[in-house]
Amino acid sequence: MALDSELINDFKIECKQLIQELFKVVEIVKASGESTFPTAALAEFAQKIDRIMGTAKTFAGFDPDNAALAKIAKIAEFCKAIGYKASEKKDAKLLKPVALIWTDVLKVIDSLVENLENPENAAKATKMLGMALKERLKWLSERLGIDFKKF
């Protein structure tokens, strides 16, 4: 069952707003150093991305043929795990890689959101994830103790 276009449009609007807020949080993480570990910013990122993840998972349940929704949910879930694990680990050396990876992943999510109703373009956005980014996600997941295979 395809979702109502009004619901999709509302989701897109909310996601766009959240993505802009998430980019601001990423800037805080990038600017942080060892003396001011951004525990609150990492948790804030995880909470905001969780809103995207939850809605995408719910919508994917109603529209299982929409691969973009499932992909958004999986990517958002992984980003949420990164936020919480990085906050727990408190390793300042991982802040820059976390911020850079989140920046790239947010661009992919933004493109997937933009193309929710266009499966061909959504597939292209998924390819943006690419092997290089997947390898960086795997590297970071190993440093944070996240099971990459789960995602």
Amino acid at 126: T
Amino acid 127: pLDDT: 78
Given a contact cutoff of 8 angstroms between Cβ atoms, the answer to whether 133 and 105 are in contact is yes
pLDDT at position 6 over 90: yes
Q: Is 107 exposed, middle or buried (0-12, 13-18, 19+ CB in 10 A)?
A: middle
Amino acid at 120: E
Amino acid at 103: T
Amino acid 1: pLDDT: 61
Q: What's the pLDDT band for 128 if we cut at 50, 70, 90? A: low
* Nearest-angstrom CA–CA distance, 24 and 8: 24
C-alpha of 121 from chain center: 18
- Which pTM does this prediction carry? 0.90
C-alpha of 90 from chain center: 20
Amino acid 74: pLDDT: 93
Tokens of 33: 């150093």
Per-residue pLDDT tens for 41-100? 999 999 999 999 999 999 999 999 898 999 999 999 999 999 999 999 999 999 999 999
Q: Which residue has the higher pLDDT, 150 or 46?
A: 46
Tokens of 16: 């766009």
Name which of 61, 56, 57, 52 is nearest 79 in CA terms: 52
Amino acid 113: pLDDT: 95
